[in-house]
Amino acid sequence: MARNGFKAMDSDMHVFEPADLWQRYIDKKYLERAPKGLNRSFRDLGIEVDGKILPIPRNPENPALAKYRHDFFEEKYSEAGKRNFDGISQLQAMDKEGLDVAVLFPTRGLTVLGIDDLDPDFATAVARAYNDWLHDFARTNPERMFGVTMIAPHDISGAVEEIRRTVQEYGFRGIFLRPNHVNRRKWSDPYYDPLWAECEKLNLPVGFHEAGRVYLPQPAFFHICSTFSMFNTFGFPFANMLACGDMIFGGVMERFPRLKVAFLEGNCSWVPWLLWRMGEYAETTGKAEYPYLTLSPLEYFQRQCYGAVECDEITAKHIPEYDLEDNMVFSTDYPHLDVKYPHAIETFLQLPFSEQSKRKYLWDNCARLYNFA
């Protein structure tokens, strides 16, 4: 499958879950409350949870944007849509793109738990149902498709149990979290320490992944970033920056030195700037505020963190200058709106990166992150 001599692993390929996933897979005691996927249009991302629609709809909707999305999805994904985006269509997309292996993230599942104060047991049941479905989905070709675990931050003991279950029974390769705080707890809050400890123990990477508007705090304020373009331009990298800052300044990387953390779908060109900026404060006021830190922000990132390079992210050519070449992974973001599918790898190989950088981003770093090495 190697394209132009390069093996390729997608660190963040998405599935598109069927609308009735939770009706079919959730614990029967929650069947009446099961999240319901909406079918208002082709490839509708919407889902209803406890009477709330996610992602939060824009009001008013832009008819021109709706038409653009419809036309784009029809052109790119009509064949996959005919198969309801099943496992076979996922493999066909991988073959068309030239991917050897894909690590699978959700689409509807990125917003389904985006509500504060969900009942913890219900939230864990929602996550467990998704994980069971994803395992069945990936069985289409378990040598090429690998899952990451959905966990509910609302229930840390349940999250730890779910991690153990999906690793032991399903062989999942990581966990994912939205970078948005749940119930106003920062990621550096000791509440999450059992989660980080379990991931470190199992050598399981944590993937932070922003998505659409939800009922959680998001740095892209809706009254400012009211359009799709504004929200995605600023919201995705901003959310990852804040999560990265909290994990480093908040001491998580210091307390869990073998924990691996990836910041996905928000580009990676911000990483050198952010680490430089954090380093400025680590050397000044940070000495008083974060006396427990023993490394610089750059050193923590180099030791434990990864960013995701977009296939056309020409500004990432400077990454090696900051000794971060071993910390970036490739992703296609299939089957979403802002993608180059089926030409993502082809586009990436045209970037002015060294052969060594391309090889690391396309395979070596991904393999190390997800324990394929």
Average pLDDT score over residue span 302-311 = 98
Cα separation values, 307 from 15, 47, 98, 105, 233, Å: 21, 29, 22, 16, 16
| Mean pLDDT, the chain, whole residue set | 96
Res. 229 pLDDT band, cuts 50 70 90: very high
* pLDDT, tens only, 308-358: 999 999 999 999 999 999 999 999 999 999 899 999 999 999 999 999 999
> How far lies 212's CA from each of 55, 73, 276, 302, 326, in Å?
5, 17, 29, 29, 29
Q: Inform me whether the pLDDT recorded for 32 exceeds 80.
A: yes
Neighbours of 77 (CB within 10 A): 21
Q: How many CA atoms lie within 13 A of 102 on its CB side?
A: 30
Cα 356 to the center of its chain, rounded Å: 25
Q: Is residue 60 pLDDT above 90, yes or no?
A: no
pLDDT at 42: 84
Q: How far apart are CA 213 and CA 337, in angstroms?
A: 15
d(CA 110, CA 353): 31
Q: How confident is the model at residue 2 (pLDDT cuts 50, 70, 90)?
A: low
The per-residue pLDDT for 166 is: 98
**pLDDT attached to residue 223:** 82
Contact 186, 216 (CB under 8 A): no
The pLDDT, as a whole number, for residue 139 is 98
> Taking 90 as the threshold, does the pLDDT of residue 113 lie above it?
yes
* pLDDT score of 59: 81
Cβ neighbours, 10 Å, residue 27: 14
Q: What is the pLDDT of residues 157-181, one digit of tens each?
A: 999 999 999 999 999 999 999 999 9
Looking at the chain, the whole-number percentage of residues with pLDDT higher than 70 is 99
Of 371, 278, 373, 272, the residue nearest 328 (C-alpha): 272
In the chain, the domains with their CATH numbers are 9-369 (3.20.20.140)
Closest-CA residue to 75 (of 352, 339, 296, 346): 339
pLDDT at 159: 98
pLDDT of residue 12: 97
Tell me the pLDDT tens digit for each residue of 259-293. Answer: 999 999 999 999 999 999 999 999 999 999 999 99
